[in-house]
Chain A
Amino acid sequence: MTAVQAGPVLGEPVLEVSKLCIDYGLPEDGGVRAVTDVTFTLRRGEVLGLAGESGSGKSTLAYAIPRLLRAPGVITGGDVIFHQRPVGGGPSQAVDMLTADAETLANIRWVDLSMVFQSAMHALNPVARIEGQLTDVLRRHRPGWSPAQRKERAVELLQMVGISADRLRAFPHELSGGMRQRVMIAMALALEPALVIMDEPTTALDVVTQREIIEELMELRERLGFAVIFITHDLSLLLELADTIAIMYAGRLVEMATATELVRAPRHPYSQGLLNSFPALHGAKKRMVGIPGAPPSLRAMPAGCKFHPRCVHAGESCLSVEPRLARPNGSFSARTVACTLQDGSRPTPAELALPDPAETAPSRFRTPAAAVPAPSDPNQNLTVGDLS
């Protein structure tokens, strides 16, 4: 296995996004803002879960980072810095993704930053064999390799994602949905990128397949040390696999915390509402209410806090003042939230003021025994994107 390297160097940033704004169409064309002032830092080996409903801007954000957003998408503000590891080692170089030209971007995409899309059927070429599609990536970026070397690597990649080598000659339509998504993951990892952006990679799959793929992915992450931005509407899934979770609503980050913090002690009423929207698999059945209303239209954004029309705690100030992402009042963790209930100006309801959980390893996949005080990764607790 050539892919085995030294473990992830945690702590070093791989992607810094600050105050990123994305519009669909320019103001002159009657455009609308889809993403507003998004700021976060992703560190090497970290899994950032991006959760939100349709129209929340989560996919827009994900496509804008590698500048793959299609027309009429326009980036209208902020910065995206990618820390590229130079070929052959040495300290990483900061690349400004928003000023980079097509060639620089082409050298980063797939090599250092790759993507996995929701529909593998549409992302794979239906008339080319799996082998060809895997080796094409290598031919483009590993020009020195012989065909035999490329084939060997293709076999290795397939086996890595749990597909036997005899499927190399298969066409995409001959594979099941789960296998196609595995092929997509193998392709994304072919050049050992530092960051993989995954847009709803398992949404179209059945629960059993989804679970298998997630487990393989987390194992690979452990071994290869790439960072992941995992986009999904399924918060319950994220809670199990992400280190850090960012909740998006109406194009803004409304809360960012470790998975444990978020599930045990949500701070934003929307996060809490989302958590209460998933019926439990165990315990007594109780009537749940979800969140009243529907997400706002991009063309008719409410003033003030964008969540206030659906919020049971909305106060006078919420109607006009948009809260900023900040550390919640009284919290000693690195988490942030954008809500006036948490800035000390108003009393915080008890259910939004649960104590921060003791810091244990956030990802259950990484440290199965929850009681172990995570000696292996001392840096991990600091990965919540030191934002404030």
Chain B
Amino acid sequence: MTDSVTPPAGTAPTVVHGPKREGTPALEARGLTKHFPVGRGKVVHAVEEISIALPEATVTAVVGESGSGKSTLARLLTGLIKPTSGELLLDGKPVGTSAKALRAYTSDVHLVLQDPFSSLNSAHSVGYHIERPLKLHSDVRGAELDAKVVELLDRVSLSPGAEFAAKYPHELSGGQRQRVAIARGLAVRPRVLLADEPVSMLDVSIRLGVLNLFDGLREDERLAILYVTHDIASARYLADTIVVMYAGQVVESGPAEQITDAPQHPYTQLLLSAAPDPARDQAPELRGSGSPPSLVNPPSGCRFHPRCPFAMAVCKEQAPPSLPVGTDQVAACWLHSPEHKAEADAVSAQI
């Protein structure tokens, strides 16, 4: 954790999620909150007070169901949408709000979107898609530019690059399109790559290839990667750290294998028991039925309490703080609070 975080007096210390590394993280977000107005004075509490640090050469997975705010978080980190409150720090320096500062920011932080069929414009060639960021953010021109395009395509295993540059998106398969989208992201030589469900629209047999590409980029380009997904198994495969989101909040975070092997938050446990697992011998027991709450009127206290089989009195009244539950692992759950230990044990014993 960085020592730059100084908690305001009188509140609990802010917990910064994400892989723990020495030095300044490539990208850090402090207290990001996004409320979307939906008319008549109502707001959707899409993302609530999230602090996350993405050090270079790491992969952080954000796992959650639809409506958990995970995609909103990724878009907040791109600067595409303005947070209601909170700030972004690139290499420890706050990101300015001027148009110029934002444009500079876009060369350091890139977003790869979910649907490779709509993230490329069918009117333009593959080469065009890769040239544009180079023209916008570098002085490379002419033959040098063409060489750079080919090099980038080769980098994402689209060889021969010259041949692929001349193709149009409709001539490529889903996996190849997603590689083009990633190559475009690399063109700006970013520090940070945000990937919003980058493989969920791809065929099963080619997903691993794209995940392995991300893994290689983490090592070779020392990228800080944020991997947003609903698939906790792939998060475990790729990520150093898993951050679990529910209803706009982080409920648990920690080293990937620790989260999947010893989940401490009831929601993480529910998510894991629901995930398909051929190694399982019998049908899993689901603890906590129902669906995520409305974010216009989120439940009081812990947002998971209406579904939580372990819910205690305090859960309805007070939002739980993030409590340490293991090495670098935190869970926002009253079950892990020393003050409520007796009650928590009683509830757990009943189930």
> Which A residues have a C-beta under 8 Å from some C-beta of B?
53-54, 176-178, 206-212, 215, 233-237, 239-240, 263, 273-275, 277-282, 285, 287-292, 294-295, 310, 364-365, 368-370
Contacts and interface: CB of A to CB of B under 8 A. Distances in A.
Interface residues of B, number: 42
Closest 6 CB pairs of A and B: A290-B208, A279-B237, A211-B274, A291-B205, A206-B65, A236-B276
21 contacts: A53-B203, A53-B205, A177-B66, A207-B65, A233-B203, A234-B204, A236-B276, A240-B278, A240-B280, A240-B283, A273-B205, A277-B205, A277-B207, A278-B276, A279-B208, A280-B233, A281-B236, A281-B277, A290-B206, A294-B206, A365-B283
Given A274-B204, A280-B279, 9 more contacts: A54-B203, A208-B65, A273-B205, A277-B204, A277-B205, A281-B232, A282-B277, A364-B280, A370-B282
B301 interface: no
Interface of B: 65-66, 173-176, 203-209, 212, 230, 232-234, 236-237, 257, 260-261, 270-284, 286, 288-289, 291
Given A207-B271, A290-B205, A237 B230 contact: no
B289 A207 contact: no
A290 B66 CA distance: 26
B173 A234 contact: no
A368 B283 CA distance: 7
Nearest to B286: A211
Contact of B274 (A207, A235, A289): A207
Contact of B276 (A234, A275, A290): A234
Contacts of B289: 212
A277 B208 contact: yes
A288 B209 CA distance: 9
Nearest to A208: B274
A373 to B, nearest CB: 15
Contact of B260 (A178, A236, A282): A282
B282 A368 contact: yes
A178 B291 contact: yes
Nearest to A176: B291
A176, A210, A237, A280 — most chain B CB neighbours (10 Å) = A280
A218 to B, nearest CB: 8
B278 A275 contact: yes
A279 B234 contact: yes
Nearest to B238: A279
A178 B290 CA distance: 10
Contact of A278 (B204, B212, B282): B204
Contact of B281 (A206, A207, A208, A364): A364
A233 to B, nearest CB: 6
A240 B278 CA distance: 6
A235 B204 contact: yes
B271 A208 contact: yes
A212 B175 CA distance: 31
B209 A290 contact: yes
Which of B65, B203, B205, B237 counts the most A-chain CB atoms under 10 A from its CB?
A: B205
A295 B282 contact: no
Contacts of B261: 282
A207 B230 contact: yes
Given A289-B208, A294-B206, A281 B272 contact: yes
A279 B257 CA distance: 12
Contacts of A277: 204-205, 207-208
B204 A364 contact: no
Given A233-B203, A277-B207, A281-B233, A210 B274 contact: yes
A247 to B, nearest CB: 11
A290 B204 CA distance: 8
Nearest to B206: A294
Contacts of B284: 211
A292 B176 CA distance: 12
Contacts of B174: 54, 294
